[in-house]
Structures are given as C-alpha cells and as structure tokens.
Amino acid sequence: DMFAHPSTQQNLDRLRSFGNRIIEPAEGELASHLVGKGRMEEPDKIVAVLDDFFASQIQLEKKKIVITAGPTYEKIDPVRFIGNYSSGKMGFALAEACAGQGAEVTLIAGPVSLKTVHPNIKRIDVESAEEMYHAAMEAFPEADAGILCAAVADYRPDVQATEKIKRETKGEMTLLLVPNKDIAASLGAIKREGQILVGFALETNDETAHAEGKLKRKNLDFIVLNSLRDAGAGFRCDTNKITIIDKEGEATAYPLKSKQGVAVDIINKLATLLK
Ligand code: PMT
C-alpha cells in the first residue's frame, strides 16, 4: 500500500525524470515474489548492485594525475598583484573526482579559498606562474596524465617593487610586463609516450579556432573549451558548459552541468586514452 501510494509514486516519477535508474522487479517476476513491489530487496543483492555500480566508477585506479587549478598572482609590489577571476572550483572538482575514481592526485593550486577533501589529493599551494611552472615540471614526469585547468597569467611585471609603490603626483604610470613560461606547452614538450596531457581553453570569441590552435601548439591530447559567451560557464560559478576537442579534431559538446558533472565527463574521456 505504501508503495502504491500516490506520493511515493510521484517521488519515483520525479526521480525517473531526473534520469535516475530505479531498480524494480520486472512485471513477470512479481508473481513469483511472495511479497511484491515495494518490498525491500535482500541486503546481499543491494550490496552486489552497489559493488557493480562503484566498480564501474573506478576508472583511474592507481593512476597518477597532476592537476593545476585556480589563478596565479603576479606581484607588482608587496600589496598589489595582477590576477584573474579563477576561483579554483573547476580544478578542485576535477581533483576530487579523479581521487574518487582511484587516482593519486597532485593538485597544484594558485591562491584560492577552497579546501581539499579526499585523502589521495596531495596539494601544493603556489602563488605565481613561475612557482606553478616549477611544481608542474617536477610532478609531471612521474604522472600518467596532466590536466591543466589553472588560469595562468601570461605576463608578469618586469620588476617587483620591494616597497609599496607610491602614488605619482605627475599622473600616468607604466608597468612593463614580460612573458611567463607556458606551463602547458612546456609539459607538452617533455611528454613521454603514453602520458596524456589535457588543457583548457577559456575563450570569448572564435572559440573553436583558438582552442584548436592551443591544442596543437601545446601538444595536448585533448582540450576542454569553455566560453565566457555561455551563461553559467567559466569563472567562479558552480556550473560549466564545455566542448571537448581531441587531436583527431572530433568535437563533443556537453550541456550546462555542475562543475562536478563536467569533471566526470572529462574523466570519462581521459580514461579511454589511459587504457
Ligand atoms: O577556477 P574557476 O572559477 O572554476 O574557473 C574555471 C576556469 C574558467 C579557470 C577553467 O575552466 C579554465 O578555462 N581554465 C583555463 C583558463 C586559461 O587560462 O585558459 P587559456 O586559454 O588562457 O590557456 C590555455 C591552456 O594553457 C590552459 O590549459 C592553461 O592552464 C594553460 N596555460 C596558459 C598559460 C600559461 N602561461 N601556462 C599554461 O599552462
């Protein structure tokens, strides 16, 4: 009676509409059951179904994955820096999802206010692109894959003032910027046979062409394109909308999802290449 009750049925319909799988005995099976629909399944059967489910989710067992996340801060003087809006959410979601799927993760994080949860995440906190470069170059040779999600500053001030720069009364001031190393391209250049390198492309225009250019230039295996033209995508929000473009030029577009859901889509693609 409880199972047949409209409120139970309504809840089940709602779960189905979210795409959840509901395990029910087939109609024919019912007759052979002493008690029918709504009866709790035998605990050992529940455990077996859960074991199967989680086994299919462990795609990165013992794989070593290096992930960069967050922004970099390029110091101007002791109180100012050049930075960007990256919150680290996308990179941290990837780190948790990789660890959850059995990987040993090295997470190289720029300045963010996020915490890591999974015990298999080794976190290295850095501030500048130069520090991120050194940490990544050290960790990548031992890794099976690298996922470069950080929003790395392409330029830094030529000189970092040791004292706070005072306001000039005369008017304008000019900062000379010099290029930072490209971490993705540097890892692409030392990538071994069998290692997989995944990059991101954050674009505002001519998205596909720019992403494809970065994929080739940085010797990546695939690139995750997100565009600031899509609502709910990119910096700071809890969601993202991506297109994965691989070396063969195949592009797969995904709907807007939570950053956790996006991380799973990226891992599913990565797992096919790591096997
Ligand atoms: O942190 P969130 O708020 O969650 O936002 C997520 C994100 C928008 C930062 C993320 O999804 C993302 O797009 N990250 C890459 C941002 C970026 O800098 O893209 P890019 O197109 O400028 O760089 C291309 C690739 O080269 C990236 O993999 C980047 O990490 C890498 N790169 C860039 C410059 C550099 N000097 N070294 C690099 O490794």
What are the tens digits of pLDDT across the range 141-185? 999 999 999 999 999 999 999 999 998 777 889 999 999 999 999
pLDDT of residue 31: 46
Which pLDDT tens digit goes with each residue over 15-65?
777 666 666 655 555 444 445 677 778 888 888 878 777 777 789 999 999
CA distances from 237 to 32, 68, 127, 131, 255 (A): 51, 18, 22, 26, 15
Gap from CA of 11 to ligand 1 centroid (Å): 41
Q: Rounded to the nearest whole angstrom, what is the distance from the C-alpha of residue 68 to the centroid of ligand 1?
A: 9
**Residue among 86, 113, 218, 245 to mutate when testing ligand 1 (max atoms within 8 A of CB):** 86
pLDDT tens column, 108-131: 999 999 999 999 999 999 999 999
- List domains and CATH numbers for the chain: 62-161+174-274 (3.40.50.10300)
Q: Which percentage of the chain shows pLDDT scores above 90?
A: 77
The neighbour count for residue 67, using CB atoms within 10 Å, is: 29
225 lines ligand 1 (CB under 6 A): no
